[in-house]
Amino acid sequence: MKYYIIVNPTSGRGHAGKAISQIEAALRSFNLDYELVRTERPWHAAELAEAAARAGFDVVATAGGDGTANEAINGLMRAREAGNNHTAFSVLPVGTGNDMLFGVGNHHGLEDGVRALAENHRRKIDVGFSRGGDYPEGRYFANGVGIGFDAMVGFEAIKVRWAVGLIPYLIGVVKTVFLYFKSPKVEITLDDKTFIQPSLMTSIMNGRRMGGGFMMAPDSAPDDGQLDLCIASEASRMRLFQLIPYFLKGTQATQPEVKMHRARKAKIRALDGGTLPAHADGEMLCVNGKELEIELIPSALEFVTLKK
């Protein structure tokens, strides 16, 4: 088995770079045959992962956050488009949020992640594909796409450089409540059903969690062939603050402003001059998009994790 380890040294506010010696010590302790490389620029992880798949590596693993993992998945999926479909994927959690891993994996922490590589237990997971905004050619995702309020929260959370985990997102929520609280009218098509409504937020999930702790789709599974959607309609600023604990517990479906849906495909279109700020796995898709099309590709990728 040949392992290709992609480290983003800036992930986790620089923690991933500082952890490289620890990562290598763990890999050596399991006698793994590996090559470790560092990313140097945006989208570099995608380029490295695609090249690794073409070169015949058995597993590509990222040591970083959700953004690094998302880039690597895009590289692996592009390699698969070219017929190089033998390379599996995994995550060594040293990043900030690790929401993707929470939804698709059973390992927690670096040592568990390396043990998972050594044991080589694989599960096939679905992968999403979003087209539109700044990515008319499309971008893959494993965890989810956030449109509207939650996208703006993520954009604000990135600006918080002094904290990690859930805290930057909570700060982002507070700031976004005062910056972006109006609900634009959107047309939503889920498979063959279309409806129009004001929508403060539309989260389209393959995983379960976003923002380091917000359970957007608590019942989602990454291998069920379905996207789980959490759609929130209009709400006042005060009401938004009241809803936060429900999203943290994953009980938001009990609230009248929130509806949950499932679909294989989703299309979101802004009406009346509105726009769609959006992200995929925390990576910006657009700030002023007009239309996004999202679909799920079942059993698209093998993910290496511990057995339950």
Structural domain harbouring 159? 130-298
Same domain, 99 and 145: no
Q: Which of 120, 138, 169 is the C-terminal boundary of a domain?
A: 120
Same domain, 16 and 68: yes
pLDDT, position 152: 83
Average pLDDT score over residue span 269-289? 92
pLDDT, position 164: 66
Asked if residue 267 is part of any domain, the answer here is: yes
Asked if residue 306 is part of any domain, the answer here is: no
Say which DSSP state 122 is in: E
Average pLDDT score over residue span 178-184? 73
CATH number assigned to the domain comprising residue 109: 3.40.50.10330
Average pLDDT score over residue span 261-288? 94
pLDDT, position 265: 98
How far does Cα 144 stand from its chain's mean position? Answer: 5
> What mean pLDDT is reported for the chain?
92
Same domain, 183 and 42: no
pLDDT, position 161: 67
Residue 96 has pLDDT above 60, yes or no: no
Number of domains in the chain: 2
Q: Which of 70, 93, 120 is the C-terminal boundary of a domain?
A: 120
Same domain, 153 and 289: yes
pLDDT digits (tens, 9 = 90+) for 50-73: 999 999 999 999 998 899 999 999
Q: Which of 83, 102, 120 is the C-terminal boundary of a domain?
A: 120
Residue 139 has pLDDT above 70, yes or no: yes
Same domain, 169 and 255: yes
Does the pTM surpass 0.85? The reply is yes
